[in-house]
Amino acid sequence: MQSSDLVAKRFEELHVQMEALQTVRGSGIAPYSSEDWQAWATSVMNLFDSAFGRNSVHYENFKALYDKYGGWAHEVESGKGIFRAAKADYDGGYVFKLEARVSGEIFGDLVLLAKEALANQNIPAAAVLAAAALEDALKRYALLSGVDVSDKPMQQVVAALKSKGLVAGAQKTLLDTMPKIRDFAMHANWDKLTAADASSVIGFVEAFLIMHF
């Protein structure tokens, strides 16, 4: 199961828990069970942190409410409202996807390693690292865009992205040269690789990550 699927599943679980929150009988202000609220709210903040980050408006608004919670029913209702808004934003795809954010960080690390290898004149290592980052990035971008490219070679992944209009212009033209360099790198045809080849893949991956991840 992909990380985005796990987040969506957790949103559903916490939505069910939210609907099950019980008020304490015999109180005119109908406060909720503090234990139930604390358990639910803690899980919600953990989810918001994972899905949106601590600098997101979802996390900050909920955290502010949690910090000043005094046991009043209207505070819990406000928390529910924030949760519903966050869930709607996530389900609707209106926020930065968790998987894309994590993937971007991983690929960024690979690009840094590729740059270091190239700086040390280790062209094969630079090309292999950059090609691996590019191929995985293209596949994940396709999957995030609803294009199934599971187990397909890079040439077919590129063709699928182009046919769906997911890459265009200069990016589309540059992509046409990438599978050949990738094959040289992954099949150990290192005598056919140049520093310019490795540099071109690194530059393309960097631009692709900035645009899509």
Final residue belonging to a domain, choices 33, 65, 91: 91
Q: Are both 109 and 82 inside the same structural domain? A: no
Q: Are both 110 and 206 inside the same structural domain? A: yes
Q: Are both 104 and 172 inside the same structural domain? A: yes
Q: Are both 69 and 102 inside the same structural domain? A: no
Q: Provide the angle, in degrees to the nearest 10, between the axes of the packed helices 73-91 and 34-51.
A: 30
Confidence of residue 24 (pLDDT cuts 50, 70, 90): low
Q: Model confidence over 9-19: pLDDT tens digits? A: 999 999 999 99
Q: Model confidence over 154-200: pLDDT tens digits? A: 888 888 888 888 887 777 777 888 888 888 888 888 889 899 999 99
Over residues 122-145, the mean pLDDT reads: 85
Considering only CA atoms, which of 212, 74, 192, 69 is closest in space to residue 136?
Answer: 212
Q: Are both 49 and 128 inside the same structural domain? A: no
Final residue belonging to a domain, choices 54, 69, 91: 91
* 97 or 87, higher pLDDT: 87
pLDDT at 30 over 80: no
**CATH code of the domain in which 126 resides:** 1.20.120.330
Final residue belonging to a domain, choices 43, 61, 91: 91
Q: Are both 130 and 208 inside the same structural domain? A: yes
User: What distance in Å separates the CA atoms of residue 32 and residue 62, rounded to the nearest whole number?
Assistant: 17
Considering only CA atoms, which of 117, 98, 118 is closest in space to residue 106?
Answer: 98
Please tell me whether the overall predicted TM-score, pTM, comes out greater than 0.85 for this model.
no
User: What distance in Å separates the CA atoms of residue 165 and residue 145, rounded to the nearest whole number?
Assistant: 11
Q: Are both 56 and 80 inside the same structural domain? A: yes
Over residues 93-111, the mean pLDDT reads: 60
User: What distance in Å separates the CA atoms of residue 101 and residue 209, rounded to the nearest whole number?
Assistant: 10
Confidence of residue 98 (pLDDT cuts 50, 70, 90): very low
Q: Are both 103 and 200 inside the same structural domain? A: yes
Residue type, 20: A
Using an 8 Å Cβ cutoff, are 37 and 21 in contact? Answer: yes
Q: Are both 133 and 176 inside the same structural domain? A: yes
Q: Are both 103 and 66 inside the same structural domain? A: no
Q: Are both 195 and 131 inside the same structural domain? A: yes
Number of domain units in the chain: 2
Range of the domain at 134: 98-212
Q: Are both 109 and 169 inside the same structural domain? A: yes
Residue 187: the pLDDT is 86
